[in-house]
Amino acid sequence: MTLRTYGWVQNPSDFSKLKLVVQIFDSTTKHYENLRKKLVRTLIPFEDIKNNLISKLDKNVEEFSYLELVGTSKDNNGRSPKKRSDAVADALIQITILPQNANTSGKRWTDNWTSDGYLRWALSLNFIKHDRNTDICSITQLGKAFSQSENKSDKETEILRKALLSYPPATQVLNILENSSSPVTKFTIGNQLGFSGEKGFTSYDEQLMLDWFKNGTNEEQKKIKSDIEGTSDKYARMIASWLHKVGFVDKLSTSVETRNGVKSGFQLFSINARGSHALKQAHGSSKNLRVKKYFTWEFLAVGGENRDYIRSRRAYILNFLKQTSSFKQLLKKLRQIGFDDDEQIIKNDIQGLINFGIRIDQTGNKITLRDSFSDISIPELNLTNELRNAALDKQKVNFINKTGLPMKYIELLEIAFDGSRNRDFEMVTADLFKNVYGFNSILLGGGRKPDGLIFTDRFGVIIDTKAYGNGYSKSIGQEDEMVRYIEDNQLRDSNRNSVEWWKNFDEKIESENFYFMWISSKFIGQFSDQLQSTSDRTNTKGAALNVEQLLLGAAAARDGKLDINSLPIYMNNKEILWSGDFS
C-alpha cells in the first residue's frame, strides 16, 4: 500500500496544462497521440523507460503508476543531478508540462516536483483517481468530460466550476470571502483555511507582514511579496486564483507607502455576484439540490509523524457524523474503535474540518453535518499508539486545557523544536506577542537586524528566536550578533547601520529602558553564561524564554494575570519561569 498526500496544492495554476495532464489518461485525445508518436520517443533518453511507455501507449492504456507519471530526478547517466538543470525527463507529466523558460532555454520538459504538483491538482479536483493499493492513477467520469471539452469553451468553464464547488477548500475560500465586509488578502483567508495548529497549515499575521513590508529594504520587499507566506497562505493564494479564473472571485491591486516610496502591496480578493450565487446554489436548500463534496482520506492531513493517525481519526469523525448528531455518541463511537484522544482534540478536529470546507453546525452537545459526501475509504492501518507521538499529543492537550489558546499558537510547541521551521517560529511568536500579550510587535527578519521587536511606550525588547530540536546552548557567534544589535540601538548611527531598524521603537522610550531576549524550544548547557556575558558587554539586561513559558505568559497576559508593563522586572539575565507568579 502506498500512502501519498494530495488535496492541497501550492503552485500549479494553469488550467490548460492541467487539462493536458488529464488527457494523459484519455487515449482519444491529440495529446495522448502526441505522447505516443513524438514526445516519449524524443524527450526520454532512457531506453527501458521509453520502451515501457511506448508499449502502453500503443495499446491505448489509460492508467499509469505514480512513477510513470511523475518520475524522478536524474541526469543522463541515471544518477542524481548535481544541479536541477542537469535533470532529464523520465515520466509522462514531465514531458507534458512545458517549463516557463521553454522558449529561452529550449528545454521541453519540467521537473518531477512540478509534475507531482499537477498530479495532486488533478487528484484534488476529482479529474483523476488514485488506487493506494496499487499506486495506479486513472481518469474519472468528470475528468473524461474535462479532457474532451473544447479548450476555453463554456463547457470547459462549467466543468471547472463544478469541480471547484465540489472541492471543500474552494468552498471554504468562497465562504470566507462571502462573509468578509471588504476585500481581503491571502493572509486573512489562510488564517481560516485548513487544519490550524499542525504542520502544513501555518498562516502569518496580515498586519505583521504589512508592517514588515513597509519597513523592509527593496530586496526584502521583493522577497516578502514573492516568497514569504505560511503554507495555508499559499493554499489560499492558489485557490483564490483558480476561483478568479473561473469568474467567481475578483482581484484588486493595492498600493502601500513604504520607506522606499509607494509600492504595490498584497493583492486583495473579493467574491463577486456570480461567485456568491454559485456558493448559494452549491449549498442548496435541500439534500437533493446540494453539491456533493469530493475528498478522500488523503486530504485530511498533510504532514507530521501523526499524519495517518490523524487522517483516519478525522475520516471516522465524518463518517460517524452521518450516523449521529450527538457529540457524546461521537466520542463513544471513536472510543469503541480505539481513538481515545482527549475531548478537546476531537473538538479541534471538528473545527479543522469546518475550516477545511465541510459545513458542520455546533450547538452545545449537538453537531449537525450539513454537507453530503460519499463514505470515506479508510485504509486498514495498525493505528496503535506507537504510530503517533503520544508525548507531543499529551503536551498539546495539556496546554490547550491550561491556556485555552488557539491551536495556531499551541503549534509553537512543535515548531520550536523543528529547525527547518525557524521562519514559522519567528512569525507565530511575533503574532502571539501582538495579538495575545498585547505588545507592539514588529518583524524585522534578521540579517543586519534582529528577528523582531516588542515594545510599549515605556520600554523595548530586542527579540531573537531560535528553533532548535535539542535545545539552545551557548553560542559565541549568536552572542556577538545580539551585542551588535544592542549597540546599534544604543548608538543609532546610520553610518554604522544604514537600515536604522531602531526607528521602529516608540520614540518616547528612554535609553535605559531597552532589553534583549532569546526565545527558543528550551535552553541547555551554560546558556546563562551567554545572558550574563551579553549584559556585561552592553550594560543592558536581558532574559531567555522557552516555548512553554512563552505560551503560559501569553495566557496570563490575556487573562489579566500578567501586566505586560511589568516585563522589565523579569529582565535579570536569567531564564524566565513564570511558575507561581499568576496565582
Residue 408 contacts residue 196 (beta carbons within 8 Å): yes
Residue 73 to residue 455: CA distance in whole angstroms: 48
Please give the biggest Cα pair distance in the chain: 80
Which stretch of DSSP H or E encloses residue 73?
A: none
Q: Which residues contact 437 (CB under 8 A, 6 or more apart)?
A: 454, 553, 554, 557, 558, 564
Q: What percentage of the chain's residues is helix, strand, coil (to nearest 5)?
A: 50, 10, 40
Which one of 464, 488, 522, 541 is the catalytic residue? Answer: 464
Q: Does an H or E element contain 268, and which?
A: strand 268-271
C-alpha cell at 438: 498585547
CA–CA separation, 100 and 35 (whole Å): 20
Active site residue 451: yes
Q: Which of 451, 488, 522, 541 is catalytic?
A: 451
Whole-angstrom Cα distance, residue 340 to residue 320? Answer: 15
CA distance 320 to 75: 49
> Could you tell me the CA-to-CA distances from 357 to 169, 348, 354, 475, 514 in Å, in that order?
5, 14, 5, 46, 46
Of the residues 449, 466, 522, 541, which is catalytic? 466
Distance CA 526, CA 337 (A): 48
Query: Is the separation of the CB atoms in 202 and 235 below 8 Å?
Result: no
143-147 long-range contacts (CB < 8 A, ≥24 apart) are 143/22, 143/25, 143/26, 144/26, 146/19, 146/22, 147/19, 147/22, 147/23, 147/25, 147/26, 147/29
DSSP string, 347-394: HHHHHHHHHHT--EEEETTEEEE---BPPPP-------GGGS-HHHHH
Q: Dihedral of the CA atoms 320, 322, 324, 329 (nearest 10)?
A: 10
Query: 522 by DSSP, 3-state: which?
Result: coil
Asked whether 6 and 299 are in contact (CB, 8 A), the reply is: yes
CA torsion through residues 224, 227, 232, 233, sign: positive
Task: Give the residue numbers marked as catalytic.
Answer: 451, 464, 466
